[in-house]
Amino acid sequence: MDVKIEKKGDLTILFIIGRLDASSATELEIKLNEINEKDPHNTVLSLKELIYISSAGLRVLLSFAKKLHAGKKQLYFSELEGNVKSVFEISGFYSIFKVYETIEEAIKKAESAV
Amino acid sequence: MLLKSWPVDLKSLSSIQAFVEKLCKDAGFTSLRVSQINIAAEELVVNIINHAFEDNKGEIIKIEVQTYPDQIEFRFIDSGVPFDPIGAKDPDTTLDLMDRPIGGMGIALVKQFADHIGYKRCDNNNILTMIIQKKR
């Protein structure tokens, strides 16, 4: 699992790459907590290169979203593929999160909310 | 029938996943299904790591696999405290972000990705059977 972080104006854009399972979830949690503590912004997540996610990964994303939300910031998901998409559907994540087909769309929505 | 065992430790997870992945690929499952089976297996294994033993040291988890022409059957066996994860209530997926509990999603994924899942307590072991059919 790898995380790429970009800044675009007032937004944070995160790319989560590879496998997000119980072994790698803690590593992501540490990175996301750091972002949330130091410099929380409305955040766009691209999951285009995420090939695997289990409930351990879902938990980390849910907890990050809650912390952002508590600081009046929002999380925007984009580019879900294959199994990641079905895991999101089964977990009901589509009804609690803003999920967009393309990263451009997600960025546009996030920018208009700033 | 194939039987393998691992230490009850998160460090065993990648080896278990490689084992499950190879068996399912060889059995002819599509890569999408292989990934779903792997997620289900991870959820059951992590459940054992987190809940079966007070102290995981020295404990083992056994996985028994039987492949059939039309399905694959896994049995996850541990000698920990009696615990039936299937009986756990499914999470309420209609709750708002701030009301959604952080846990409970793993078993929901297992139930969705497996065609059959069963629990029994036998000779002081927890035995979870998971069957996945090739056609669904």
pLDDT digits (tens, 9 = 90+) for B76-85: 999 999 999 9
Q: How confident is the model at residue B101 (pLDDT cuts 50, 70, 90)?
A: confident
Contact B101, B94 (CB under 8 A): no
Query: Phi and psi at residue B68, in whole multiples of 5°?
Result: -120, 165
Chain B CB within 8 Å of residue A89 CB: no
Chain A CB within 8 Å of residue B13 CB: yes
Residues 80-109 of chain B with CB under 8 A from chain A are 91, 93-98, 100, 102-103, 105-106, 108-109
Looking at chain A, the whole-number percentage of residues with pLDDT higher than 70 is 99
Cα–Cα distance between A27 and A72 in angstroms, integer?
A: 25
Contact B24, B72 (CB under 8 A): yes
The answer, yes or no, to whether residue B59 has pLDDT greater than 80, is yes
State the Cα angle at B120 between B115 and B122, rounded to 5°: 145
What integer is the mean pLDDT of B60-69? 97
Chain B CB within 8 Å of residue A65 CB: yes
Q: How confident is the model at residue A114 (pLDDT cuts 50, 70, 90)?
A: low
Q: Could you give the 3-state DSSP secondary structure of residue A101?
A: coil
What integer is the mean pLDDT of B97-114? 90
The answer, yes or no, to whether residue B135 has pLDDT greater than 90, is no
Residues of chain A found within 8 Å of residue B46, distances taken between Cβ atoms: 22, 54, 56
> Is this structure's pTM higher than 0.90?
yes
pLDDT digits (tens, 9 = 90+) for A20-56: 999 999 999 999 999 999 989 999 999 999 999 999 9
Residues of chain B found within 8 Å of residue A29, distances taken between Cβ atoms: none
What integer is the mean pLDDT of A91-111? 95
Cα–Cα distance between B51 and B45 in angstroms, integer?
A: 10
Is B39 within 8 Å of A97 when comparing Cβ atoms? no
Contact A47, A70 (CB under 8 A): no
User: Residue B39: what pLDDT?
Assistant: 98
Segment (H or E) for B63: strand B60-67
The answer, yes or no, to whether residue B89 has pLDDT greater than 90, is no
Of B49, B96, B105, the CB nearest to A58: B105
User: Residue A96: what pLDDT?
Assistant: 92
pLDDT digits (tens, 9 = 90+) for B5-47: 999 999 999 999 999 999 999 999 999 999 999 999 999 999 9
Looking at chain B, the whole-number percentage of residues with pLDDT higher than 70 is 100
Residues of chain A found within 8 Å of residue B102, distances taken between Cβ atoms: 59, 62-63
Is B35 within 8 Å of A22 when comparing Cβ atoms? no
The answer, yes or no, to whether residue B61 has pLDDT greater than 80, is yes
User: Residue B13: what pLDDT?
Assistant: 97
ipTM score above 0.90: yes
Q: How confident is the model at residue B104 (pLDDT cuts 50, 70, 90)?
A: confident
Residues 24-53 of chain B with CB under 8 A from chain A are 32, 35-36, 38-39, 42-43, 46, 49
Q: How confident is the model at residue B123 (pLDDT cuts 50, 70, 90)?
A: very high
Q: How confident is the model at residue B88 (pLDDT cuts 50, 70, 90)?
A: confident
Residues 30-49 of chain A with CB under 8 A from chain B are none
- Concatenated DSSP letters of A7-59: EETTEEEEEEEEEESTTTHHHHHHHHHHHHHH---EEEEE-TTEEEE-HHHHH
Cα–Cα distance between B121 and B130 in angstroms, integer?
A: 15
Closest CA to A100 of A74, A80, A81: A80
